Structure 1
Amino acid sequence: MSTTTTTAGSTAPTTDARARRLPGTLRLGLVRGGVELLEYVRERDSVIFGFAYPIVMLAIFATVFGDDDPIVADGVTVSFAQYFLPGMVATGVMLSTYQTLAISIAVDRDDGSLKRLRGTPLPATSYFLGKVFLSLTTVLVQTALLLAVAALAFDVPLPDDPARWVTFAWVFVLGTAAGAVCGVAYSSVPRSGRSASAVVVTPLLVLQFTSGVFFSVSQLPDWMIDLSSLFPLKWIAQGMRSVFLPDAFAAAEPSGAWQPGATAAVLAAWLVVALLVGTRTFRWRRHDDG
């Protein structure tokens, strides 16, 4: 270790040596993630409603339609709850990543938190890692609760084929990563924290209706499917259907197949594009603050 000699003859570490002892970006990101998680759980109403939304929607649709309205594809029948589950898993991913990050970052910018953080030694990367850590934690808990309720309350059969869980894992991870980066990039769109909810939630709500989340994709017009195919939610939902539905239901998809390659390519493309856009457009200050 390089040192410098003080006037008293003792040695003190140089600036470079002190810098080497500072926590790394990843460690700071994990610490920041703990702070984000603590702040999140303190907002109990947000936690309850955020976790409850997919579960409540599954319960409502499964109860309204029930066994009287099964979904049939190529001679194979599943309950509406089983067909609806993949869309709710996909929605939960986007709620906990894109929506949570876009709104929370916009609020942090509006109340000056981002500006103050920018003036601290905390690297920007660590701040974003903290947000991603929060999103990953919440989406894992939310998805686990949703699957448990679906299996225990609505008798939805979960996959027993390890290959399907492998598909679930990579769609989940890639969808979560794409949604998180999209949330960071989109957070610069709202002009204030007050308008963030409307600006962020509205397009996601529209996409839920056009991406085969609330309805069977066979009931949607072609132009709507083509439009929704440009966005991640449709592909996350389709990837999840390939996990939780029988293979016969692939014929009900617009392409007549599950398209795992296309799903991976589209989600990866959104991950890269949103990352590039976000690094160029991200704002640490409010729009009216220079």
Structure 2
Amino acid sequence: MSEVTVSQLDRPAPLPALRNDPRRVLRVGLARAVMETKMFFREKDQVAFVFSIAVVMLIILASIFTTQYRGTDITVSQVYVAGLIGTGITAVSFQNLGISIAVERDQGGLRRLAGTPMPPSAYFIGKVGSVLVVAVIQVAILLVLGVVLYDLQLPAAIGPWLTFTWVFLLGLAAMTMLGIAASSVPRSARSATAVITLPFVVLQFISGSFLPHTDLPDWLLNLSAIFPLKWICQGMRSVFLGQEAAFMEITGGYELGKAFLVLTAWIVGGLVLCLLTFRWKDQHAG
């Protein structure tokens, strides 16, 4: 057995070992998250587009429908606030992430990153961290508007806020996974907005973002129950409208246990989709 010298012990680790070191991955990922967040807020058009979707829809719809809902103390405007939180979460994760990654890939940005010493997982940590920050701001804006303009009552007990936390985190994680996976669908940056926005708009109308969807045909109800947005909206209504509004749901209840299982399943399924479909370069690149 050969003797190990001091110089050998002091020799730097090979590049692959350094690249996959968990502490380095986390450190680089957090730095990437800060950079991604700064880049997002520097693009004024992008900021206005992402934040305005749910806010503008809330203001327009809540201004048209101001009556109380079916003889309760809950106004239609308050129902909109709760449901559109789901839209806001989906806009900053699925829609914005899917479009921005597709554009980065088409412009060669992902291909260049793949050739750097940056761990690939750090790139995704950066994206997830940025989405989390933007989503918190988006939800905060909607809640402030709901409280100030539409008399939304925030929960006084800790239980609803715990529900809000897990619905928010699981819903955001599920939609983020789907956004990353969907980014591989557009063939170019020019088609990314149309390709990603279409399913986003459809899901809003069938998932109860505007009102509980009791009047939809059965096949659409079954279709909406497959996707995360329906369960995010339902969970948020349970938090901000309470049991008084549970009769609005299809089953007469919020089914929070089922919401937890569906959202968790989509996180796992979305991760599998990302691993199977994500690519660092455009499919037409050499």
TM-score w.r.t. the length of structure 1 is 0.91
**1:144-172 Cα distance to aligned partner (Å, 9 max, x none):** 11101110122221111211111000000
TM-score of the aligned structures, taking structure 2 as reference length: 0.92
In 2, the alpha carbon distance for the partners of 1:163 and 1:110 equals: 45
- Structure 1 window deviating more from structure 2 (219-228 vs 140-149): it is 219-228
- Residue 16 (1) aligns with residue 19 (2): no
Tell whether 2:188 aligns with 1:192. Answer: yes
Write the letter of the residue equivalent to 2:7: T
Q: Which amino acid in 1 is paired with 2:68?
A: P
Hey, what's the Cα distance between the residues in 2 that align with 1:20 and 1:180? 27
**Is the 2:98–2:182 contact (alpha carbons within 8 Å) kept by the matching residues of 1?**
yes
Distance 1:126 1:282 in 2: 15
Corresponding residue SS for 2:73: strand
Deviation at 1:3, TM superposition (A): 4.2
CA separation in 1, counterparts of 2:211 and 2:145? 20
Matches within 5 A, 1:155-234: 155-234=151-230
Q: CA deviation at 1:200?
A: 0.3
Residue in structure 2 matched with residue 71 of structure 1 by the alignment: 69
Give the whole-Å Cα distance in 1 for the aligned partners of 2:148 and 2:271. 39
CA distance in 1, matches of 2:280, 2:267: 21
Query: Are the equivalent residues in 1 in contact too, given 2:212–2:249 (CA < 8 A)?
Result: no
Three-state SS of the structure 2 residue aligned to 1:277 is helix
Which secondary structure state, in structure 2, belongs to the residue aligned with residue 287 of structure 1?
Answer: coil
Q: Following superposition of structure 1 onto structure 2, how do residues 94-113 of structure 1 map, counting pairs within 5 Å? A: 94-113=90-109
> 1:9 matched to which residue of 2?
none
Equivalent-residue separation in structure 1 for 2:268 and 2:93 (angstroms): 16
* Aligned residue among 109, 115, 129 for 2:111: 115
What residue in structure 2 maps to residue 81 of structure 1? 77
DSSP-derived class of the 2:185 partner:
coil
RMSD of aligned alpha carbons: 2.0
Matches within 5 A, 1:144-155: 144-155=140-151
Q: Distance in 1 between matches of 2:228 and 2:152?
A: 25
Instruction: Return the letter of the residue paired with 2:260.
Output: A
Contact 1:212 1:220 (8 Å CA) reproduced: no
How far is 1:92 from its partner?
0.6
Q: How does 1:259-278 map to 2 (within 5 A)?
A: 259-278=255-274
Q: For residues 237-274 of structure 1, give each alpha carbon's deviation from its aligned partner in whole angstroms, at most 9, with x where no partner exists.
A: 01111111130322221122111111011111111011
Change beyond 3 A, Cα 1:52–1:3: farther
Aligned position for 1:43: 43
**CA–CA separation in structure 1 for the residues paired with 2:236 and 2:6:** 57
Using the TM superposition, give the Cα deviation of residue 17 of structure 1 relative to its aligned residue in structure 2, in angstroms: 8.6
Instruction: State which drifts further: 193-202 or 54-63.
Output: 54-63
1:20 CA displacement: 6.0
Distance 2:192 2:179 in 1: 12
Whole-angstrom distance in 1 between the partners of 2:270 and 2:264 = 10
Letter in 2 for 1:4: S
* Alpha-carbon distance between aligned partners in 1 of 2:170 and 2:162, rounded to the nearest angstrom: 12
Displacement after TM superposition at 1:215 (Å):
3.0
Work out which of the residue numbers 2, 7, 18 in structure 2 matches 1:4. 7
Secondary structure of the structure 1 residue equivalent to 2:65: helix
After superposing on structure 2, the runs of 4+ consecutive aligned residues of structure 1 that deviate more than 3 Å are 17-23
Cα deviation 1:87-112 (Å, max 9, x = unaligned): 11001111111111111110110000
Q: Which runs of 5+ in 1 are unaligned?
A: 6-11
| The structure with more strand, counted as a fraction of residues | 1
Match of 1:34 in 2: 34
2:112 aligned partner, one-letter code = R
Q: How many angstroms does 1:221 deviate by?
A: 2.5
Answer yes or no: is the 8 Å Cα contact 2:92–2:135 preserved in 1: yes
Kept in 2: contact 1:165–1:243 (CA 8 A): yes
Query: How many residue pairs are counted as aligned between the two chains?
Result: 280
* Gapped regions of structure 2 (runs ≥ 5): none
Deviations 1:187-232 (A, max 9, x none): 1111111111000000010110111112332232222211111111
Matches within 5 A, 1:248-259: 248-259=244-255
